[in-house]
């Protein structure tokens, strides 16, 4: 009998019931909750007279709507200027109170983007099933967890039953051989993978990222990589547990200690695909071929190395592709054949659940050190992923480097990744962004998003246009 | 949830690949704490010429005359014809809420994003996957025929065109049953409460570090 994949093991260990029709009841260990996708779920519980099945499985934190401006933030929930945002954050507080769910409130130092907070607090652990009403829940797969986003009906379902009705996904291994070059990061790897398999390439699959280049990534790099599984169409992405994982988890507030740690570690060390495991599909990339990436269009798969030219409509194979490239070029205000490095920028955003952890801030600060943001950049903002990340960066003096260079240093939250708070792009503005989606209007109506790594974003802020961070020097 | 039986409905086009959930319902409308009322803001940025806000009076906003759903011939549409990877992007259930609130009851496309696909079933919205060539044929026929209606029979798993062509589609047996009967997933799962408790006790004994930590 063939061996098991990591996904097979995680799935089987959480199987409550397998039905004849192939659907299964899967037990959920950790449910993370934020303010946008939960109000209707709590309302559903209320209407049906139901209570949460297991309160200690849940952890809530507001992130999408919280202001990142220090002054507005200081007023707490009551100080949020947009009344609709304020109501949503207030509703989360009220629901957590009413249903006795632990919440990290807006101005707690542990507050931050839910996908930064989970791993950072140890609320996310290897071997867990982790869900949240947010598609970037795939991030937590970096710890060797089965983690994916769910809709609001499923948020309610998990609250009420501690389970989800699922059908098993197929297994896809993305293997990256060799080592990434200097100045090429997990973000570039994620974008290169999406560029290779497409935004629907992972649909129907659970992705395991493997190979030398993935093993060489830090835990934070693995989170960046797994975070963007959903942009490749896969609900979940994961990386096998190894020493890097264990070193990261040890000592986190919600992680086990003492004898429990030893017991957990022994189990966690089994969380990898067996040598003879069979994958339904495998994609292999060579790390050395990957250069810093920049998206030029309105889908994450519209991505190219920084030294490339924007594609032409004529070069597209079929009508559907011609139409989407035409539409994307029009929306982005670009023309086919234009060099990526000729794209002028208006704003720079460093943050989001993809790239707002301490290593991301370090990467940006390293490039920014001793330099100045270009005159044509209206705003370059750095939004740390959590209060803890912010505090750590300040201990290292990174905020001073960034502020000296002309960047804004903000309070933690989702911010301009999806522009649900006050941080957004103006129409027609080009933004170098470390976030995960370059959809039309994502960062503000008419806004033009280019996805890049933190180092590339910082380099673009300094140059005023895209530039290969490796030429600017100062990269890690 | 409203049971889904047979549907004979007018078809309307969303003729683009990779329609993402930000296009279906832009983020400024996600601030609502309700489940209903998203219909007027479905495809907001394509449908209107101005920028919509949660407190806008949509009846007063300028409509985009080039957007098909604003054409007289597609008013009252219940079936959306779409292209590949429809519903990609975020997990927001506001996307199917907006589609159903608008009046759509089924979407036909060559493929759907996973989370969106699953969210549809929770809201009585039937996502139907047909081969890309068949979907193209349906688009062509729809453009050529004003008042183009399709008949969808979930029980039989068929889509029938006005000319009588019948296309079969696949649907998960469990999802089909829930949709046909209008069943609530949570109620069904809670019938398995003893099995969940048994699993939970076994799991707690095996992985005690997963319990009673967040409190």
pLDDT tens digits for range A202-237: 999 999 999 999 999 999 999 999 999 999 999 999
Nearest C-alpha neighbor of A444 from the set B209, B110, B66, B53:
B53
pLDDT at A474 exceeding the cut of 90: no
Nearest CB among A16, A43, A167 relative to B195 is that of A16
Nearest CB among A59, A137, A154 relative to B214 is that of A59
CB-CB under 8 Å, B199 with A22: no
With b for 16 or more beta-carbon neighbours within 10 A and e for fewer, the B53-82 pattern comes to: eeebeeeebeebeebbbeeeebeebbbbbb
**Tokens (6 digits) for A70:** 């220090």
* B-chain residue closest to A327, CA distance: B16
First to last CA, chain B: 34
Selected residues 17-36 of chain A with any CB under 8 Å from a CB in chain B: 17, 19, 21-23, 25, 27, 29-30, 36
Beta pairing class for A205-210 and A170-177: parallel
**What pLDDT shows up at residue A476?**
46
**What pLDDT shows up at residue A422?**
77
pTM of the predicted model as reported, rounded to 2 decimal places = 0.94
**What pLDDT shows up at residue A417?**
85
Nearest C-alpha neighbor of A174 from the set A233, A243, A247:
A233
What is the Cα–Cα distance from A14 to A129, expressed in whole angstroms? 8
**What pLDDT shows up at residue B108?**
98
Interior angle at CA B45, CA B43 and CA B46, nearest 5: 65
**Tokens (6 digits) for B185:** 């997933």
> CB contacts < 8 Å between A and B, how many?
202
Interior angle at CA A34, CA A395 and CA A447, nearest 5: 80
Contact at 8 Å (CB) between B45 and B23?
yes
Q: What is the pLDDT of residues B31-77, one digit of tens each?
A: 889 989 999 999 999 999 998 998 899 999 999 999 999 999 999 99
User: Cβ contacts (< 8 Å) between B20 and chain A: which residues?
Assistant: 299, 437, 439
* B-chain residue closest to A45, CA distance: B186
| Mean pLDDT, rounded, for A288-309 | 97
CB-CB under 8 Å, A154 with B122: yes
Query: Backbone phi, then psi, for A103, in 5-degree steps?
Result: -125, 140
**What pLDDT shows up at residue A419?**
78
pLDDT at A313 exceeding the cut of 70: yes
DSSP A307: T
What is the Cα–Cα distance from A475 to B4, expressed in whole angstroms? 57
pLDDT at A178 exceeding the cut of 90: yes
Interior angle at CA B125, CA B171 and CA A199, nearest 5: 75
The number of beta carbons lying within 10 Å of the beta carbon of residue A20 is 7
**Tokens (6 digits) for A460:** 């673009």
Nearest C-alpha neighbor of A424 from the set A372, A366, A340, A346:
A346
**Tokens (6 digits) for A122:** 């140890």
Distance from CA of A285 to the nearest CA of B (A): 24
Burial of residue A261, with CB atoms counted within 10 A of its CB: 0-12 exposed, 13-18 middle, 19 or more buried: middle
Nearest C-alpha neighbor of A321 from the set A297, A290, A285, A295:
A297
For the sheet containing A15-18, what is the strand order? Answer: A15-18, A23-27, A163-167
Q: Average per-residue pLDDT in chain B?
A: 95
A454, A202, A439, A409 alpha-carbon torsion, rounded to 10°? -20
What is the Cα–Cα distance from A438 to A450, expressed in whole angstroms? 6
Q: Tell whether A172 lies on the interface with B, counting CB pairs under 8 A.
A: no
Contact at 8 Å (CB) between A425 and A433?
no
Among the ranges given (A4-13, B153-162, B169-178), the one the predictor scored with the smallest mean pLDDT: B169-178
Query: Backbone phi, then psi, for A172, in 5-degree steps?
Result: -125, 125
pLDDT at B104 exceeding the cut of 80: yes
User: Cβ contacts (< 8 Å) between A167 and chain B: which residues?
Assistant: 172
DSSP A292: -
User: Cβ contacts (< 8 Å) between B22 and chain A: which residues?
Assistant: 418, 437, 439-442
CB-CB under 8 Å, A439 with B22: yes
pLDDT at A311 exceeding the cut of 60: yes
With b for 16 or more beta-carbon neighbours within 10 A and e for fewer, the A312-325 pattern comes to: ebeebeeebeebbb
**What pLDDT shows up at residue A335?**
96
Q: What is the pLDDT of residues A76-110, one digit of tens each?
A: 999 999 999 999 999 999 999 999 999 999 999 99
- How does DSSP assign A397-428, residue by residue? THHHHHHHHT-EE--SSSGGGTT-SS--PPTT
Beta pairing class for B158-160 and B149-153: antiparallel
């Amino acid at each position: 009998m063939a061996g098991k994949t990591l996904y097979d093991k995680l799935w089987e260990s959480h199987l409550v019931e397998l039905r004849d029709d192939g659907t299964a009841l899967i037990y959920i260990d950790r449910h993370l909750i934020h303010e946008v996708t939960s109000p209707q779920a709590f309302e559903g519980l209320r209407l049906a007279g139901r209570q949460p099945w297991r309160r200690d499985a849940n952890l809530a934190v507001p992130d999408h709507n919280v202001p990142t401006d220090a002054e507005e933030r200081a007023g707490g929930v009551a100080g949020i200027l947009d009344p609709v945002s304020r109501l949503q954050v207030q509703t989360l507080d009220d629901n957590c109170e009413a249903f006795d769910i632990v919440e990290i409130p807006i101005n707690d130092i542990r507050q931050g983007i839910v996908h930064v907070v989970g791993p950072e607090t140890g609320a996310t652990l290897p071997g867990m099933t982790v869900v949240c009403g947010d598609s970037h829940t795939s991030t937590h797969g970096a710890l060797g967890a089965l983690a994916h986003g769910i809709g609001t009906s499923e948020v309610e379902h998990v609250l009420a039953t501690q389970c989800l009705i699922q059908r098993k996904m197929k297994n896809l291994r993305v293997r990256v051989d060799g080592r990434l070059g200097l100045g090429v990061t997990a973000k570039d790897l994620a974008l290169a993978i999406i560029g290779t398999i497409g935004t629907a390439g992972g649909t129907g699959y659970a992705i395991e990222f493997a190979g030398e280049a993935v093993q060489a990534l830090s835990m934070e790099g693995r989170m960046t990589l797994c975070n963007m599984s959903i942009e490749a169409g896969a609900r979940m992405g994961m990386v096998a547990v190894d020493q890097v994982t264990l070193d990261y988890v040890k000592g986190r507030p919600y992680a086990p200690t003492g004898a429990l740690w030893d017991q957990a570690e022994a189990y966690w060390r089994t969380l990898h695909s067996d040598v003879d495991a069979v994958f339904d599909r495998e994609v292999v990339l060579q790390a050395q071929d990957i250069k810093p990436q920049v998206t030029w269009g309105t889908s994450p798969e519209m991505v190219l190395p920084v030294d490339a030219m924007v594609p032409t409509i004529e070069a597209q194979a079929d009508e559907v592709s011609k139409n989407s490239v035409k539409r994307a070029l029009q929306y982005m205000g670009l023309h086919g054949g234009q060099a990526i490095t000729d794209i002028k920028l208006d704003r720079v955003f460093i943050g989001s659940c993809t790239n707002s952890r301490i290593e991301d801030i370090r990467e940006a600060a390293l490039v920014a050190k001793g330099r100045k943001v270009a005159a044509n950049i209206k705003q370059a903002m750095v939004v740390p992923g959590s209060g803890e990340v912010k505090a750590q960066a300040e201990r290292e003096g990174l905020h001073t480097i960034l502020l000296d260079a002309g960047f804004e240093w903000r309070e933690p939250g989702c911010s301009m990744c999806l522009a649900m708070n006050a941080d957004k792009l103006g129409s027609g503005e080009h933004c170098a962004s470390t976030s995960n989606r370059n959809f039309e209007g994502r960062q503000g109506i008419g806004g033009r998003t280019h996805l890049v790594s933190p180092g590339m974003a910082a380099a673009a802020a300094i140059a005023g246009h895209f530039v290969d961070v490796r030429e600017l020097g100062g990269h890690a | 949830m409203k049971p889904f039986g047979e549907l004979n409905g007018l078809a309307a086009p969303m003729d683009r690949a990779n329609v993402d959930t930000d296009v279906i319902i832009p983020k400024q409308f996600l601030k609502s704490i309700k489940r209903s009322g998203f219909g007027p803001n479905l495809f907001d940025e394509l449908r209107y010429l101005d920028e919509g806000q949660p407190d806008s009076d949509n009846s007063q906003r300028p409509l985009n005359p080039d957007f098909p759903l604003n054409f007289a011939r597609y008013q009252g549409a219940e079936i959306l014809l779409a292209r590949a990877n429809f519903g990609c992007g975020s997990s927001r259930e506001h996307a199917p809420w907006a589609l159903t609130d608008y009046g759509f009851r089924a979407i036909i496309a060559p493929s759907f994003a996973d989370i969106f696909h699953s969210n549809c079933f929770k809201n009585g919205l039937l996502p139907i996957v047909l081969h890309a060539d068949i979907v193209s044929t349906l688009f062509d026929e729809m453009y050529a025929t004003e008042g183009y209606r399709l008949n969808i029979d979930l029980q039989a798993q068929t889509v029938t065109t006005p000319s009588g062509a019948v296309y079969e589609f696949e649907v998960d047996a469990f999802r089909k049953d829930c949709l046909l009967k209008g069943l609530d997933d949570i109620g069904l799962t809670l019938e398995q409460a003893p099995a969940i408790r048994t699993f939970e006790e076994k799991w707690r004994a095996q992985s005690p570090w997963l319990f009673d930590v967040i409190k």
